[in-house]
Amino acid sequence: MNAKTAKILDGKALAQKIQTELTTQIQALQPQIGRPPGLAVLMVGDNPASAAYVRNKERACTKVGIASFGKNFPADATQAEVAQAIQDLNEDERVDGILVQLPLPNHLDSVALLHQIDPNKDADGLHPVNMGRLVRGESGLRSCTPAGVIRMLQEYQISLQGKQAVVVGRSILVGKPLALMLLEADATVTIAHSRSHNLAAITQTADILIAAVGRPNMITAQMVKPDAVVIDVGINRIIDYEGNSRLVGDVDFESVQEVAELLTPVPGGVGPMTVAMLLHNTVWSYSQKVNG
């Protein structure tokens, strides 16, 4: 038994805590607004992973008291059909959040559809208007996964001020918005990616290391500064020699837990936080009906 193993950051427990807070908030707001908050998840086709995610989101909605207005389209749905559904939801008074479940079939232009969502109903926080608000440090809807990471760091009282934060990955879903949020919290931020030279030399400088590249076990113990905080955003399904599949992150959990101070597991780390922040965004939009 090694002398030291990292403390685990429990995203599942924190997500449940957030859901409890949201339930209380909804119960307080509902008499003033006269209806529950509403979230619409649009899905095209029958990708099993997407279907599982959507079921998970709808179950979480039911648990906190959010009404679901989901819509499933056949795989051959046209751009015009999905666009019309978004337009209808933009105008529907009962709906506070709209989410298009990605990935979409190749014949659809997902960017054009995301752009069509009313920025104030953009539950995923991916609309250019909300991205712009983040860049400017204005309040608005934030991308769910990065917001979940920040909320987790706050919960565990991990100070970001003046710390070296390295984000490995530059996607519009996680890497870029997360770097901006870390900057907003006064961290010194480096964004690295698969084409960075001497990646290990960069990651070894990190007090807070966040992996969001989608490559199984890419971050090894040698790449981690001793006593760093390591956040694993990756979710990769791998098949072992016996043909069994399991989920692993971008971080090699076994080796890194002997070096890091704090570490998120996969599953049970960032994943549950993404759904919790989706619900949080929906309730935030809903609460604007009173404040706004």
Measured in whole angstroms, the distance separating CA 231 from the mean position of its chain's CA atoms is 12
| Per-residue pLDDT tens over the stretch 227-248 | 999 999 999 989 988 889 899 9
> Could you tell me if 48 and 92 lie in one domain?
yes
Does residue 217 sit in the same domain as residue 98? no
Q: Can you give the pLDDT at residue 1?
A: 44
Average predicted confidence (pLDDT) for the chain: 95
Instruction: Give the sheet arrangement for strand 208-211, strand by strand.
Output: 7-8, 262-263, 229-232, 208-211, 164-168, 188-192
> Does 194 appear as a known binding residue?
no
Of 81, 101, 118, the residue at which a domain comes to its end is 118
Measured CA to CA, the distance from residue 252 to residue 236 in angstroms comes to 12
Hey, is 185 helix, strand or coil?
A: coil
The number of domains in the chain is 2
Which tens digit of pLDDT belongs to each residue from 16-39? 999 999 999 999 999 999 999 999
Residues 6 or more apart in contact with residue 127 via CB below 8 angstroms: 114, 115, 117, 119, 141
Q: Which residues are catalytic?
A: 57, 101, 124
Cα–Cα distance for residue pair 169/173, rounded to 1 Å: 10
175 is in an annotated binding site: no
User: Residue 133's CB: how many other CB atoms inside 10 A?
Assistant: 17
Averaged over 180-208, what is the pLDDT?
97
Query: How many angstroms from the chain centroid is the CA of residue 95?
Result: 21
Does 17 fall in a domain? no
Residue 272 burial (CB count, 10 A): 23
pLDDT of res. 127: 96
Q: What range does the domain containing 71 cover?
A: 34-118
Say whether both 167 and 251 belong to one domain. yes
Place of tokens 């936080």: 273
Task: Tell me: do 110 and 149 sit in the same domain.
Answer: no
CATH code at 103? Answer: 3.40.50.10860
Q: How far apart are CA 276 and CA 148, in angstroms?
A: 8
DSSP code string of 92-159: -TT--EEEEPSSPPTTS-HHHHHHHS-GGGBTTS-SHHHHHHHHHT------HHHHHHHHHHHHTT--
161 φ/ψ angles, rounded to the nearest 5 degrees: -60, 120
Mean pLDDT for 205-215 is: 97
Q: Are residues 251 and 170 in the same domain?
A: yes
> Is 174 found in the same domain as 106?
no
Same domain, 195 and 76: no
Residue 241: predicted pLDDT? 87
pLDDT in tens, 111-126: 999 999 999 999 999 9
Query: Is residue 90 in a domain?
Result: yes
Residue type, 208: I
235 is in an annotated binding site: yes
DSSP E strands, the chain: 7-8, 38-44, 67-68, 71-73, 97-100, 164-168, 188-192, 208-211, 229-232, 236-239, 245-248, 262-263
Q: Binding residue per annotation — 169?
A: yes
Same-domain status, 72 and 183:
no
Which position has the higher pLDDT, 47 or 94?
94
pLDDT single digits (tens) 148-180: 999 999 999 999 999 999 999 999 999 999 999
Q: Please, how many CA atoms are within 13 Å of residue 162, restricted to the half-sphere of its CB? A: 0
Task: Kindly report the CATH number assigned to the domain that includes residue 156.
Answer: 3.40.50.720
Whole-angstrom distance, CA of residue 229 vs CA of residue 224: 9
How far CA 209 is from CA of 22, 112, 146, in Å, comes to 29, 33, 13
Residue, of 292 and 288, whose pLDDT is higher: 288
What is the average per-residue pLDDT within 242-270?
95
Q: Is 164 helix (H, G, I), strand (E, B) or coil?
A: strand
278 belongs to a structural domain:
no
**pTM exceeding the 0.85 threshold for the entire prediction:** yes
